[in-house]
Amino acid sequence: MQLELSIDRGSRLPLYFQLAQQLEDAIRDGRLRPGDRIETEIELAHRLSLGRPTVRQAIQELVSKGLLVRRRGVGTQVVAAQFSRPIELTSLYDDLAACDHRPTTRVLELRSLSADGSVARALSLQEGSAVTYLERLRLQTGEPLAIMRNWIPHGVTDLDADSLETSGLYEVFRRSGVHLRIADQRIGARAATRAEARLLGVKSGVPLLTMERTAFDDAGRAVEYAQHCYRADSYFFDTTLVCR
C-alpha cells in the first residue's frame, strides 16, 4: 500500500525517524490496517530518495515496537496494534469491545471434570469436586491475542459455546446474577508451547505474558479460576503506582 509520505531534509529529526513516525501514525489512525503490506525497502528508498539503510532502520523501529512484521515470501505487513489493559477486575472481551478492537472468540473446549489439587485449592473446593473447564481463543480484529483457560465451580452458572462466542464470560456471569467483587491475580511470563504457538500464530518458545486469577463474587465465593496467556507483541498491562 502506497501512502503519502514526505521527508524534510531541513529538519533536525533524523531521516529514519521521520519515516518511522509517519508509518506509525498511519497504523495508529487506521490508514494502515492489520494485514496490509507496506512498500519494500527498495521502493520506499527510491520514492523518497533515501538510502536503503535509512529505510531499513525506520522499518526495524516499527518491527521492534510490534507494529510491523517481516514475513518471508510475503513482505512487511502491519500486525494488530498492541492492546493496553488496565489492571482491574474486568473482562478482556468487554475491554476490547470498548476500544473498538472487534473481539471474537473460538471455544476450543467446554466440559465438566473433577478439580485436581491446584484447581481445588484456588477455588476453595474439595479435591475431586465438579467444575466446568473452559478453553477459548480470543482474537482482536481477526488476529489471535490470547488463550484463556477457566475453571468454574459446578452450580455457579450454566455455560454454552454459543453464549461464550458472542460475549465474554463475565457478561454470562452478570446475566446469571453473579456479581464479581474482588480477585487475586498474578502476572508473569513464560515460553509458548508448540500448541499455544500454533493457535497464536507465533513461533514455539517465544515469550508470552501470563495471568493467573481467582475471582470472588460479592458473597465471597470463589467463582472462577483462570490461567490466561497473551501474545507479548500485542498485549501489555497498564498500572498506576503511588508513592507512600
Q: Is residue 204 part of a domain?
A: yes
Given this model, what pLDDT does residue 119 score?
95
Same domain, 131 and 194: yes
Query: pLDDT tens digits for 183-208?
Result: 888 889 999 999 999 999 989 999 99
Given this model, what pLDDT does residue 243 score?
58
Same domain, 64 and 170: no
Full residue range of the structural domain in which residue 44 is found: 15-78
Given this model, what pLDDT does residue 168 score?
85
Same domain, 56 and 175: no
Number of domain units in the chain: 2
Give the three-class secondary structure for 35.
Answer: coil
Q: Residue 118 belongs to a domain with what CATH number?
A: 3.40.1410.10
- Three cell numbers at 9? 531534509
Given this model, what pLDDT does residue 67 score?
80
Cα(79)–Cα(143) distance, rounded to whole angstroms? 8
CA 3 to each of CA 18, 39, 47, 99, 170: distance values in angstroms, whole numbers, following the listed order: 14, 9, 11, 25, 41
Q: Is residue 187 part of a domain?
A: yes
Q: Is residue 160 part of a domain?
A: yes
Q: Is residue 244 part of a domain?
A: no
- Mean pLDDT, the chain, rounded, equals 85
Given this model, what pLDDT does residue 127 score?
94
What is the rounded average pLDDT of the residues 199-228?
A: 91
**Which one of 80-89, 95-104, 140-149, 189-198 scores highest in mean pLDDT?**
189-198
What is the rounded average pLDDT of the residues 95-100?
A: 54
Domain boundary among 78, 107, 123: 78
Q: Is residue 4 part of a domain?
A: no
Domain boundary among 78, 97, 130: 78
Query: pLDDT tens digits for 119-165?
Result: 999 999 999 999 999 999 988 878 888 999 999 999 899 999 998 98
Given this model, what pLDDT does residue 205 score?
92
Q: Is residue 1 part of a domain?
A: no
Q: Is the pLDDT of residue 45 over 60?
A: yes
Same domain, 28 and 115: no
Given this model, what pLDDT does residue 177 score?
92
Q: Is the pLDDT of residue 167 over 70?
A: yes
Query: pLDDT class for 66, splitting at 50, 70, 90?
Result: confident
Same domain, 211 and 154: yes
C-beta separation of 16 from 58 below 8 A: yes
Query: pLDDT class for 241, splitting at 50, 70, 90?
Result: low
- Give every CB contact of residue 145 below 8 A, 6+ residues apart in sequence: 80, 83, 96, 138, 139, 200, 230, 231, 234, 235
What is the rounded average pLDDT of the residues 194-223?
A: 91
Q: Residue 52 belongs to a domain with what CATH number?
A: 1.10.10.10
Q: Is the pLDDT of residue 210 over 60?
A: yes
Same domain, 88 and 74: no
Given this model, what pLDDT does residue 143 score?
84
Same domain, 111 and 209: yes
Same domain, 64 and 95: no
What is the rounded average pLDDT of the residues 47-63?
A: 90
Same domain, 29 and 88: no
